[in-house]
Amino acid sequence: MMQQWFKDAKLGIFIHYGIYCDGNWSESWSFHNGDVSYERYMQQCEQFTASNYDPAKWAKLFKKAGANYVVLTSKHHDGVALFDTKYSDLSVVKKTPAQRDLIAPYVKAVRDEGMKVGLYYSLLDWSDLRYRSVYPEGQSPENYNKNDIYGCPMGAPEDPEKWEEFLQFDRDQLREILTNYGKIDLIWFDGDWERSAKQWKAPEMREYLHGINPEIVINSRLRGYGDYDTPEQGAPVIAPARPWEFCMTINNNWGYRKHDNDYKTSRMIIRIFCDCLTMGGNLLLDIGPKADGTIDPRQEQILLDLGSWIEDNKEAVYGTEKGIDYRYFLGGSTVSKDRKTLYLISYDRPDEYLCVKGIKNQINRISVLHSDETLQYRHAAGQLWINLARDQQHRFSTVIKIDLDGELELAGD
């Protein structure tokens, strides 16, 4: 069910953590795509110690970054559970030297920092033979020519009973993660695309989850039977009609990769965050901790920069709603819930004026949000021309606060 906390959250942190964090091969996809054999991929279990796993430290960092919720991969497409599951031997508890449930301390740490707890769960499981029991709907052994040895029976007949068993397995594991650690606020499904809503029994699954926790927020990747949309990697140009969250990697990979140095800069990340905020969505920013559980200092620095920008400008972030159309202002903006304050976000660094068109209200005051410095402005040609000098600007993006005499009224709206 969509919850107000989700709409107000603005920023979440996504964590891809698992045996793949050794950093040589990508999460799950590497064996699926043939970059590494399944056997070699699974050998990564032997090195997975999680020896410096300290989710309390993570949670403190995420809080500092300004996040209000966190989503951790409880099980990726490789099927390796980060939790102690009764229903399979494939877990970090049974198969790795970490030998312990990693979800319990994570849930506690996130809760202790007052953030909402999310868990990612891959519906598909490329390690489970029962998953390979049916073809994607509409496909049959004759016309199914994809070489997908992990996803379907590969020329063999279907076995609907096995598929039923697999669905029950997913349900059983979901009950474990949603009940063994107290209340989980959000379930983040993935890997729904190889089967149809009918095959997944998506409506029944939704009901099943609500039976466990009627307040749980469910992302869209249950073949559309969730509560909100999840555009991925490409920032939306037009905001989705439903509530939404844009998920994006901090560099080019979801999980930690040794040679991925292609980090987005802090300025870029802040701008992308603002873009989501001003279009009415959340950003779910993904990081990939190393196998021992520590976070690369470059990832940490970006989170700290983002957090310091949000801290300096929090009035324009939390408790606001999406801003005015670009035809009024060529930048981002948010509006306070009482609609009496407009916040303009200047992404670039103007040398003199910022212009905003069409405001019909009287202006009480215009100021720089982070410094509270009052700004001079004038009206000309029905536009507000706000002076903003270089030395008044924030090192990342400057927020201009416009106090209005009443609720915002725009010409031509």
Residues that bind ligand GLC (CB under 6 A): 27, 29, 190, 232, 247, 254
Q: How far is the CB of 15 from ligand GLC (least distance, A)?
A: 11
Q: How far is the CB of 232 from ligand GLC (least distance, A)?
A: 5
Block residue for tokens 């040589």: 24
Indicate the residue among 188 and 377 with the shorter CB distance to ligand GLC.
Answer: 188
Q: How far is the CB of 268 from ligand GLC (least distance, A)?
A: 19
Strand partners, 107: none
Helix axes 55-64, 297-312, angle to 10 degrees: 40
Q: How far is the CB of 320 from ligand GLC (least distance, A)?
A: 26
Q: How far is the CB of 126 from ligand GLC (least distance, A)?
A: 11
Query: Contact 341/401 with Cβ under 8 angstroms?
Result: yes
Indicate the residue among 58 and 254 with the shorter CB distance to ligand GLC.
Answer: 254
Cβ count within 10 A of residue 143: 8
Indicate the residue among 48 and 254 with the shorter CB distance to ligand GLC.
Answer: 254
Would you give the DSSP letter of residue 351?
Answer: S
Parallel/antiparallel/unpaired status of strands 320-322 and 69-75: unpaired
Indicate the residue among 221 and 370 with the shorter CB distance to ligand GLC.
Answer: 221
One-letter amino acid identity for 329? Answer: F
Q: How far is the CB of 27 from ligand GLC (least distance, A)?
A: 5
Query: Contact 28/125 with Cβ under 8 angstroms?
Result: no
Indicate the residue among 255 and 332 with the shorter CB distance to ligand GLC.
Answer: 255
Task: Read off φ and ψ for residue 232, nearest 5 degrees.
Answer: -130, 130
Q: How far is the CB of 249 from ligand GLC (least distance, A)?
A: 8
Query: Contact 86/325 with Cβ under 8 angstroms?
Result: no
Indicate the residue among 20 and 135 with the shorter CB distance to ligand GLC.
Answer: 20
Q: How far is CA 207 from the centre of its chain?
A: 24
Block residue for tokens 């001003």: 278
| Alpha-carbon torsion angle 154, 160, 166, 169, nearest 10 | -170
Indicate the residue among 170 and 190 with the shorter CB distance to ligand GLC.
Answer: 190
Alpha-carbon distance 111 to 108, whole Å? 5
Hey, what are 340's tokens?
Answer: 């009496």
Q: How far is the CB of 129 from ligand GLC (least distance, A)?
A: 20
Report which secondary-structure segment, H or E, holds 205. helix 202-212
Indicate the residue among 190 and 275 with the shorter CB distance to ligand GLC.
Answer: 190
Hey, what are 139's tokens?
Answer: 């496909």
Indicate the residue among 232 and 321 with the shorter CB distance to ligand GLC.
Answer: 232
Query: Contact 248/205 with Cβ under 8 angstroms?
Result: no
Q: How far is the CB of 347 from ligand GLC (least distance, A)?
A: 26
Parallel/antiparallel/unpaired status of strands 377-380 and 383-387: antiparallel
